[in-house]
């Protein structure tokens, strides 16, 4: 019998939500690391009880936690994140240069074939790697070598917030950085190239089609078709059919193409989900209606999914790492809000119900499908 | 024997319920006590002071015998009452926020 385990990071701790394959009855465990900001909890695909959690406060800094029993017990592992060499400078809000300073880990992405190998996306933007289960971390400095002096922080900081591994090509991975754009490596992270052609940032950049500097909020792919990437940008929803070499807009008939997360259906590579947000000035759903939008055609044509979601007086946000899918059939879709709700649909989005309603603000949601 | 009181979140992190006790070789200074504390509880490395510069994290404060030692240098000798275990060195998370 299949089970699902939902890993939720919040402003005040981590929560683990579990259910059997019916996804009707849920058990809630937590808060783990109560009082700490948990930006991300993620599990190994090959050893699902191996979990990693990024734990942080402004008082005491960055911690990394590891579990080998599915989140029942945790052990602090290495938290020494040093930039390689002289860290250098990046662009500050006013256009001046500002020293690189480590602040926190936003995202943890375990390797697809080794539970001890994990990539960590940092603020200030850098990519770190461990091969010993989190004991020690080394930066992959080639990333910051790609015009890092031109990267600048978005409103949420300058961070590597998305790491996507190519399941068909172990040498290839993608990262997304706010506000720098998408970068691809084809040699296991040694060298990188910006893959932002086709992005337009008319109000954010002096050169709207600059090679770097775009505020990409999230990218996603389907494992069966890793050359097709989907992107929720600051404004605009985009698609690339050539591994990021060029992008075209697929916002189509969305009520707003501003938003944070984007996800792909587990079994339908062209079915994608976004949560439109009114604007960069008003981070809540248009008209106070929380609507997930689904396209079954890889974008442009979108349908509003509203059944079970609040359709009046709803002013929460859904952050970039706070949407995930399970691998069951029908595909389950999950997302968390800044109001502390975690909603799920066991019907690919046709209807929704809350698993929990009153958690702290949700920063991240991951789902594990367990046998 | 030097007693050290940790703030709640660092007690949780170090998995201790109450004061901790450390010993130092030679004179008890702010720096030597923090060195001994981090040696005994490696999970606290980076949580109280920067790993490289050893600068105090901005929202961490040090007190002993009703004196604020937060801005004192690492070689500051701690009061006799702390060195002989009568009084603890207090490590405090600063009041911050709204």
Band of residue A98 on the pLDDT scale cut at 50, 70, 90 = very high
What is the pLDDT at residue A234?
95
What is the pLDDT at residue B97?
64
Q: Is residue B39 part of a domain?
A: yes
Tokens in use for A39?
A: 């930006």
pLDDT in tens, A99-140: 999 999 999 999 999 999 999 999 999 999 999 999 999 999
What is the pLDDT at residue B98?
61
Secondary structure (DSSP) of A275-318: --BS-SSS-S-GGG---EEEESSSSSS-EEE-TTS--SS-----
C-alpha distance from B86 to closest chain A C-alpha (Å): 27
Tokens in use for A353?
A: 């119900």
pLDDT in tens, A303-313: 999 999 999 99
pLDDT value at A1 more than 80:
no
Q: Is residue B26 part of a domain?
A: yes
Band of residue A207 on the pLDDT scale cut at 50, 70, 90 = confident
Main-chain dihedrals φ then ψ at residue B32, nearest 5 degrees: -70, -35
Q: Is residue B75 part of a domain?
A: yes
Q: Is residue B37 part of a domain?
A: yes
Give the residue with greater pLDDT, A348 vs A94.
A348
User: Would you call B47 and A36 a contact, using CB atoms and an 8 Å cutoff?
Assistant: no
Could you say which of A60, A76, A80 has the minimum Cβ distance to residue B9? A60
Could you say which of B10, B51, B52 has the minimum Cβ distance to residue A60? B10
pLDDT value at A233 more than 80:
yes
The alpha carbon torsion through A251, A293, A105, B62 (nearest 10 deg) reads: 120
Mean per-residue pLDDT, B54-73: 96
pLDDT in tens, B26-55: 999 999 999 999 999 999 999 999 988 999
Q: Is residue B88 part of a domain?
A: yes
Handedness of CA A79, A83, A86, A92 (dihedral sign): negative
Band of residue A258 on the pLDDT scale cut at 50, 70, 90 = very high
| Structural domains in chain B (count) | 1
Average pLDDT score, chain A: 96
What is the pLDDT at residue A155?
85
Q: Is residue B57 part of a domain?
A: yes
Tokens in use for A253?
A: 């008939």
How many whole angstroms separate alpha carbon A366 and alpha carbon A43?
A: 8
Mean per-residue pLDDT, A48-53: 98
**Best residue of A60, A102, A105, A136 to probe chain B, by most B CBs closer than 10 Å:** A60
Contacts of A240 (CB under 8 A, 6+ apart): A195, A198, A227, A228, A229, A231, A246, A247, A248
Mean per-residue pLDDT, A254-278: 98
C-alpha distance from B55 to closest chain A C-alpha (Å): 13
How many whole angstroms separate alpha carbon A101 and alpha carbon A79?
A: 15
Q: Is residue B22 part of a domain?
A: yes
Q: Identify the three-state secondary structure at position B39.
A: helix
ipTM of the complex: 0.93
- Structural domain including B63 reads 2-93
How many whole angstroms separate alpha carbon A242 and alpha carbon A235?
A: 21
Mean per-residue pLDDT, A44-65: 97
pLDDT in tens, A135-156: 999 999 999 999 999 999 988 8
Percent of chain A with pLDDT over 70: 100
Could you say which of A59, A76, A80 has the minimum Cβ distance to residue B59? A59
pLDDT value at B71 more than 70:
yes
> Which CATH number belongs to the domain containing residue B89 in this structure?
3.10.20.30
CB atoms within 10 A of CB B42: 11
Q: Is residue B98 part of a domain?
A: no
Band of residue B95 on the pLDDT scale cut at 50, 70, 90 = confident
How many whole angstroms separate alpha carbon A10 and alpha carbon A20?
A: 23
Give the residue with greater pLDDT, A207 vs B29.
B29
B34 Ramachandran zone, left/alpha/beta (phi>0; psi -120 to 50): alpha
């Amino acid at each position: 019998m299949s089970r699902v385990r939902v890993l939720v990071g919040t402003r005040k701790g981590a929560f683990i939500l579990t259910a059997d394959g019916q996804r009707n009855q849920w058990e809630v465990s937590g808060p783990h690391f109560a009082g700490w900001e948990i930006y991300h909890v993620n599990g190994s695909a090959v050893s699902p009880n191996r979990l990693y959690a990024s734990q942080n406060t402004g008082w005491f800094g960055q911690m990394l936690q590891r579990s080998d029993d599915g989140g029942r017990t945790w052990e602090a592992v290495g938290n020494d994140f040093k930039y390689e060499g002289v860290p250098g400078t990046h662009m500050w809000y006013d256009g001046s240069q500002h020293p690189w300073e480590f602040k926190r880990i936003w995202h943890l992405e375990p390797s697809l074939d080794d539970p001890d190998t994990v990539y960590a996306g940092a603020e200030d933007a850098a990519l770190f790697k461990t091969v010993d289960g989190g004991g020690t971390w080394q930066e992959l400095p080639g990333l910051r070598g790609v015009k890092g002096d031109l990267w600048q922080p978005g409103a949420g900081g300058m961070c590597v917030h998305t790491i996507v591994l190519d399941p068909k090509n172990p040498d290839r991975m993608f990262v997304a950085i706010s506000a720098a754009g998408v970068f691809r490596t084809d040699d296991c992270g040694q060298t990188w190239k910006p893959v932002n052609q086709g992005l337009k940032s008319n109000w954010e950049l002096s050169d709207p089609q600059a090679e770097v500097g775009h505020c990409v909020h999230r990218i996603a792919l389907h494992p069966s078709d890793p050359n097709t990437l989907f992107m929720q940008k600051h404004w605009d929803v985009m698609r690339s059919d050539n591994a990021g070499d060029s992008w075209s807009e697929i916002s189509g008939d969305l009520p707003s193409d501003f938003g944070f997360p984007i996800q792909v259906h587990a079994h339908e590579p062209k079915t994608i989900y976004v949560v439109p947000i009114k604007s960069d000035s008003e981070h809540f759903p248009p008209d106070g209606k929380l609507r997930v939008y689904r396209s079954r055609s890889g974008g442009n044509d979108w349908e509003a999914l509203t059944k079970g979601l609040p359709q009046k007086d709803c002013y929460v946000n859904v952050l970039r790492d706070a949407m995930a899918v399970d691998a069951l059939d029908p595909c389950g879709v999950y997302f968390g809000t800044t109001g502390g709700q975690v909603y799920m649909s066991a019907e690919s989005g046709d209807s929704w119900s809350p698993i929990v309603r009153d958690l702290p603000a949700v920063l991240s949601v991951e789902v594990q499908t367990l046998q | 024997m030097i007693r050290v009181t940790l703030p709640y979140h660092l007690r949780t992190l170090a998995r201790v319920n109450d004061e901790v006790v450390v010993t130092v070789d030679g004179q008890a200074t702010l720096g030597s006590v923090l060195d001994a504390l981090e040696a005994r509880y490696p999970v606290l490395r980076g949580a109280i002071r920067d790993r490289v510069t050893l600068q105090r994290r901005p929202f961490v404060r040090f007190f002993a015998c009703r004196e604020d030692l937060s801005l004192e240098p690492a070689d500051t000798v701690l009061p006799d009452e702390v060195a002989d275990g009568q009084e603890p060195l207090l490590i405090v998370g600063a009041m911050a926020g709204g």
